[in-house]
Structure 1
Amino acid sequence: MDKQSVQSEMSSYVGKLLRDHFGKGPSSVFVSLEAPYLTIYLKDFLAPMERVLVGQKNHNKVEETRDLMMRELIPDIKATFRASVGIEVESIYYDWSFPNKSGILIGIVKSDQQSPNLKSYDPGSTLYEEVEKVSEQAEKAPESINSYLLNDRTLLIVRSGILVAIEKELIDSGYEEPLKISKRRLEKRLLSRASFEKILGKPIEDTFVDWDFQNDRSYIVFLLRL
């Protein structure tokens, strides 16, 4: 199966899965696969009850409910991708933008060979300097930063070695969920205030962030407006 067919199959499956479990699926699902990274961008994804809670500024309640649902769905997504398109996804991360009614799934694909189309991306040292500045405000400067342009619109930034001692202690004590929600709110606020649009030379339509706490790694996704 060629890559376009694989991406189409993934898009159709994820749209149906979310519709079956949330009562309303996204109006559009955009899949980008450049091993070892996979992103699934969801547009117009907000169920009727969620819309009420968001209107009442109850974002945390929606986020907690979605986290519970995603924990149930991720094993099914991995199994279906493996069986239907032969893609072995090791882990899946996700984030939502409730004001924009959008979301992202970030998959790490098990692959012995990196996609030849995967492009490292850095328009200049200022991009990494800005990422480092935001990270220092939220936790600490990353030990390493890498960035990849998965398609014309999807910029993935991977940070490693960013957790501070108190965060590691909270994770070990079972406070991963509230820590992630708090960090996400803080980092997205800092990212929105930073100068990324000026550095990239393009407006940013959506910003997402999630963490692999066990491996002390973070994923930032900017959806660029062309």
Structure 2
Amino acid sequence: MSHSTTSLKIESVIKEIFAASFGDKPEDVHVILENRCLIIRLERFMGKIMENLVVTKDNDALRSTSELIMDYLLPDFMKELKTFSDIEFDSFYYDWDDNNLSGVIVGLIKDNNYRLNEDYYPGKDEVHFQISKITYEVEKVPDSTFSFWADNNTLVVVREGLLIEIEKYLVKLDGEGALRKAKRALEKTRIIEEGNIPIILGRRLVGIYLDWMFEMDKSVIVYVFEEK
């Protein structure tokens, strides 16, 4: 099955799972599938529920609801994906944007293809420098940073080896939830406010999404930009 055909099938499956599980579905589902990753962008997923939480300014409930939805969705999606695709993934990540009620699910394809198939684009060195600088200020300089364009408007940055010893110990003590909450509040805010990635690339930002796979000491950042 071609990537384009698989992408359409994934879009259909995501909508079906949302409708069956939650009685509602995202306003739009945009799927990117290429040889390094899968990105599923959900526009206004669970719109009415999320909108009510935004109106009440209950950010903790908003984050908890989003995490519960993603945790519930992913196993069903992976099970269904195996019925029509033999693509294997190294790890999955997800995040959301409280402002526009969009979310992304990111799957890095097995064998770390992003390491072997990086893109070389104008501003890449500066992008990596800024990301490494902020990571260092929050924890430490990543052992490795990779980046590539998943499509014309979506930049993916993968960081490896960024946790400090106390963070690793927190993960061992089952403190992953608290660590993720703290890092979303601190690290994501710093990357948004100080990264200057849209300025470096000369693009207008639509959304930024950030998640970690603590067991693998790996993190993915996704920048979505407006169409040129």
Secondary structure (helix, strand or coil) at the match of 1:85 reads coil
Structure 1 residue 135: Cα displacement: 0.8
**What is the aligned partner in structure 1 of residue 157 from structure 2?**
157
Q: How big is the shift at 1:155?
A: 0.5
Q: Deviations over 1:100-142 (max 9, x none)?
A: 110000012236977x987455624211111011112222111
Name the SS for the 2:141 alignment partner: coil
| Residue pairs, 1:5-44, within 5 angstroms | 5-44=5-44
Alignment pair present for 1:136 and 2:147: no
SS in 2 for 1:68: helix
Separation in structure 1 between the aligned mates of residue 123 and residue 189 of structure 2, nearest angstrom: 23
CA distance in 2, matches of 1:138, 1:21: 38
> Structure 1: which amino acid aligns with 2:26?
P
Task: Tell me if structure 2 keeps the 8 A contact 1:34–1:117.
Answer: no
Counterpart-to-counterpart distance in 2, 1:178 and 1:19: 31
CA contact (8 A) 2:17 2:76 kept: no
Looking at structure 2, the residues matched to 29 and 117 of structure 1 have their Cα atoms a distance apart, in angstroms, of 26
Distance 1:44 1:66, change over 3 A: closer
Number of corresponding residues: 226
Secondary structure of the residue that 2:84 maps to in structure 1? Answer: helix
Q: How does 1:172-183 map to 2 (within 5 A)?
A: 172-183=172-183
* Length-normalised TM-score, structure 1: 0.91
Distance 1:57 1:148, change over 3 A: same
Query: Within 5 Å, which residues of 2 pair with 1:143-222?
Result: 143-194=143-194, 195-222=196-223
- Checking the alignment, whether the CA contact within 8 Å between 2:90 and 2:111 is kept in structure 1 is no
For 1:107, what is the secondary structure of its paired residue?
Answer: strand
Equivalent residues in 2 for 1:66-85 (5 A)? 66-85=66-85
How big is the alpha-carbon RMSD for the aligned residues of Structure 1 and Structure 2? Answer: 2.2
State the Cα distance separating 1:213 from its structure 2 match. Answer: 0.3
Where structure 2 has 5 or more consecutive residues not aligned to the other structure, the ranges are none
Tell me how far 1:94 sits from its aligned partner: 0.4
Q: How far does residue 219 in structure 1 lie from its aligned partner after superposition?
A: 0.2
Normalising by structure 2, report the TM-score.
0.90
Secondary structure at the residue paired with 1:219?
A: strand
Report the more deviating stretch, 192-201 or 104-113: 104-113
Instruction: Give the conservation status (yes or no) of the 8 Å contact 2:139–2:163.
Output: yes
| Distance (whole Å) between structure 2 residues aligned to residue 219 and residue 201 of structure 1 | 21
SS at match of 2:162: coil
Would you say the 8 A contact 2:144–2:160 is kept in 1? yes
- Cα pair distance change 1:6/1:96, threshold 3 Å: same
Q: Which runs of 5+ in 1 are unaligned?
A: none
DSSP 3-state at the match of 1:207: strand
* 1:129-177 per-position Cα deviation (integer Å, ceiling 9, x unaligned): 1101111222211111000101001110000111111211111111101
Task: Decide whether the 8 Å contact of 1:156 with 1:222 is kept in 2.
Answer: yes
Question: Partner of 1:54 in structure 2?
Answer: 54
Q: CA deviation at 1:44?
A: 1.9
Aligned partners of 1:120 and 1:146 also within 8 Å: no
Note if contact 1:53-1:59 (Cα within 8 Å) is conserved in structure 2.
yes
